Amino acid sequence: DIQMTQSPSSLSASVGDRVTITCRASQGLKNYLAWYQQKPGKVPELLIYDASTLQSGVPSRFSGSGSGIDFTLTISSLQPEDVAIYYCQKYDSAPLTFGGGTKVEIE
Amino acid sequence: QVQLQQSGPGLVKPSQTLSLTCAISGDSVSSNSAAWNWIRQSPSRGLEWLGRTYYRSEWHNDYAVSVKSRITINADTSKNQFSLQLNSVTPEDTAVYYCARSRGYFSVWGQGTLVTVSS
């Protein structure tokens, strides 16, 4: 099965900073990669699918890129409401595996 | 607007069967373009996809290897819902369980159910 590795596992940044999270697959996925945001005590929410397509209603400061093995989630200007854990997920085929998550905090 | 409403007990005894149901509104469990999933989350395992059921002229199921010998996901077309049964549970099955609709990615989630396995 394909493994999904996220890095870093946690980060702390200032409001307004550009934040980058990476997700690496152990085999190629084409662009079958999604990103989710989970705020404390809440249900995960879809941010990006097909590696770079923004889900309706998601702020434009979020963007995704990549294909094949390496993918990136970028927050162009970190806001206090972006404090959360971010997960990637592959969906090229079953099993539909998640990455281990990246915890984003404000300095 | 698609919504998923989960129901089921929050406490299950070791060796017994965990059973949860997810009622669908705004879509059909027999949809030819969606799949219906169960996912769980615990501090030790993170987000773990457990399995799915979907209809493409006939019913199909996929299950995670980690639970394949113990899991059943069924669709109930008369009630427009789907269910999870996980047999022979242990304390390691303690987690928040979510149902979710997918078209590959998980676009709609249930509210989550904390299931504790304890005597």
Contact B47 A44 (CB under 8 A): yes
**b/e string for B54-73 if b means 16 or more Cβ within 10 A?**
bbeeeeeebbbeebeebbeb
According to the model, what pLDDT value does residue B66 have? 95
Q: What does DSSP say about strands A102-106 and A10-13: parallel, antiparallel, or unpaired?
A: parallel
Tokens at A25, concatenated: 């697959």
Q: Does A21 touch chain B (CB under 8 A)?
A: no
DSSP single-letter state for residue B15: T
According to the model, what pLDDT value does residue A72 have? 98
Mean pLDDT over residues A28-33, rounded? Answer: 96
According to the model, what pLDDT value does residue B90 have? 97
According to the model, what pLDDT value does residue B11 have? 98
According to the model, what pLDDT value does residue B82 have? 98
Mean pLDDT over residues A85-97, rounded? Answer: 96
According to the model, what pLDDT value does residue B19 have? 98
Q: Does B37 touch chain A (CB under 8 A)?
A: yes
According to the model, what pLDDT value does residue A100 have? 97
Q: Which residues of chain B have a CB within 8 Å of the CB of A36?
A: 106
According to the model, what pLDDT value does residue A90 have? 97
pLDDT tens, residue by residue, B13-33 = 999 999 999 999 999 999 999
Q: Does A32 touch chain B (CB under 8 A)?
A: yes
Contact A89 B106 (CB under 8 A): yes
CB atoms within 10 A of CB A8: 11
List strand residue ranges (DSSP E) for B1-119, in order: 3-7, 11-12, 18-25, 35-42, 46-55, 59-63, 71-76, 81-86, 95-103, 105-109, 113-117
According to the model, what pLDDT value does residue A10 have? 97
Q: Tell me the CA distances in angstroms from A92 to A24, A79, A80, B17, B67, one per residue in order.
A: 14, 32, 33, 31, 20
According to the model, what pLDDT value does residue A23 have? 98
pLDDT tens, residue by residue, A32-52 = 999 999 999 999 999 999 999
Contact B64 A101 (CB under 8 A): no
Mean pLDDT over residues B61-81, rounded? Answer: 97
According to the model, what pLDDT value does residue B75 have? 98
Grade residue B51 by pLDDT with cuts at 50, 70 and 90.
Answer: very high
Grade residue A14 by pLDDT with cuts at 50, 70 and 90.
Answer: very high
How far apart CA B23 and CA A51 sit, in angstroms, is: 30
Q: Does A89 touch chain B (CB under 8 A)?
A: yes
According to the model, what pLDDT value does residue B74 have? 97
Contact B46 A100 (CB under 8 A): yes
Least CB–CB distance from A98: residue in B46, B104, B111: B46
Q: Which residues of chain B have a CB within 8 Å of the CB of A89?
A: 47, 105-106
How far apart CA B3 and CA A36 sit, in angstroms, is: 18
